[in-house]
Structure 1
Amino acid sequence: MGKKVIVAMLLILSIVSGQAQTNNKDQKPGQKIEDPDNLATEYFSQIMGVALSATSNLKLYQFVYDWIGTPYRLGGVSKKGIDCSGFAFELYNKVFSTLIGNNSRNIFSMVNPINKDQLKEGDLVFFKIGSRSITHVGVYMGNNKFAHASSSKGVMISDLDESYWRRYYYKGGRLLASLRD
């Protein structure tokens, strides 16, 4: 099934569930009614391989989901093709209403560096691939997973524990507080 069909089915299920909540006046005590946000959380957890919680940013996961499979294009900033910094830029703009730099080194200058064990959903992760300077950026999703635009596979979710990413990992970063406001 295509991504759009699955999302449409999820939205319909959410609407039907919401109507059931308002129309179900004779609900038995203790009977569980599905919460649309819980359905979305479970859905993204399953398809992205990331354990979401009740406090997870569903807008972040929806954004990543919508971009999965977008081809890589150096300097690109659209669904026709995008690079890693363009993806991070678009994500921060649309999900967090925050403008960040337009290349991985500029973006790194806008963060407080943090250790890998301190990463939280929405933090940035930086890599030095075949260089002494930062060459790649992604957005941390939780459970050691991050979303990024790979030059070989386009927008995807990868695991920081994979040997390739572990080898080139540089630092995590959290946007400076003054830029988030």
Structure 2
Amino acid sequence: MNKKFLFSTLIALCCFTTAFAQNKTKQDSKLEDPDNLASQYFSQVMGVAVNATSNLKLYKFIYEWIGTPYSFGGNTKKGIDCSAFAKTIYDKVFNTTILRNSRDIFSMTDPLSKDELKEGDLVFFKIKSRSISHVGVYLGDSRFAHSSSGGVKISNLNEPYYSRYFYKGGRILEGTKTEFVEE
């Protein structure tokens, strides 16, 4: 029994080593690039196609907030609401000051349809209301980050709930926006 185990382990190890050596040269250039590693990581964790042109600071920031509890009027990692989360992202990632209320934030944007959305745009919802009551930050691939009753999370605009209440996207008007800050 021990000989069979050792033999099969040796065979598996040889196969693994051969496969690893063949793939190593293909992946060496990709693995040496920290931005590529970060892009791959965030793509897997967040379910969004993060690429070389993506704002990795945005994804890192959101990742650090995932799971923060929802708190109406809150603006810290102990609890935060949707508009404070969007405001914090714009302050810290895009070096842009936006207003604190989702309806007021919408007034600072150029309205967009779903198919015009780009990474960093805002998404607005009228949830059981005639006026805008919720905001999130678009990530791409129909996904957006927001703070809701389940806390800070990433959701899909195509989910029936969000699809039903989606109002419009919005891009901060040019006079307001400054480029994101690199660290």
How high is the TM-score relative to the length of structure 2?
0.81
Structure of larger gyration radius: 2
Letter in 2 for 1:175: I
Name 1:119's counterpart in structure 2. 117
Which residue, 54, 63, 66 being the options, matches 2:64?
66
| Equivalent in the alignment of 2:108 | 110
1:180 aligns with 2:177: yes
Structure 1 gap ranges (5+): 1-27
- How far apart are the structure 1 equivalents of 2:148 and 2:113? 23
Q: Give the C-alpha shift of residue 115 in structure 1.
A: 1.0
Task: Write the letter of the residue equivalent to 2:81.
Answer: D
User: In the alignment, which residue of structure 1 is the partner of 2:160?
Assistant: 163
SS of aligned partner of 2:176: helix
Runs of 4+ in 1 over 3 A off after TM superposition: none
- Describe the shift of the 1:178–1:47 C-alpha distance in structure 2 as closer, same or farther (beyond 3 A): same
Distance across 1 between alignment mates of 2:62 and 2:154: 9
Q: Deviations over 1:2-24 (max 9, x none)?
A: xxxxxxxxxxxxxxxxxxxxxxx
Equivalent position SS for 1:180: coil
C-alpha distance in 1, partners of 2:50/2:118?
12
2:17 maps to none
Distance 1:104 1:31 in 2: 45
Specify which of 48, 51, 56 is matched with residue 49 of structure 2.
51
Give 1:53 deviation, angstroms: 1.1
Against the structure 1 CA distance between its residues 40 and 31, is the aligned structure 2 distance closer, same or farther, given a 3 Å change threshold? Answer: closer
- 1:10 aligned partner: none
For 1:115 and 1:35, locate their aligned partners in 2 and report how far apart those are by CA, in whole Å.
35
Provide closer, same or farther for how the CA distance between residues 36 and 105 of structure 1 changes in structure 2, counting only shifts above 3 A: same
Amino acid at match of 1:164: Y
Aligned counterpart for 2:132 among listed residues 124, 131, 134:
134
Shift of 1:31: 6.0
Q: Deviations over 1:72-102 (max 9, x none)?
A: 0000000000000000000000000101010
Q: CA RMSD in A?
A: 1.4
Shift of 1:34: 2.1
Q: Percent identity?
A: 65
Given the superposition, is the C-alpha separation of residues 154 and 40 from structure 1 closer, same or farther in structure 2, using an over 3 Å criterion? same
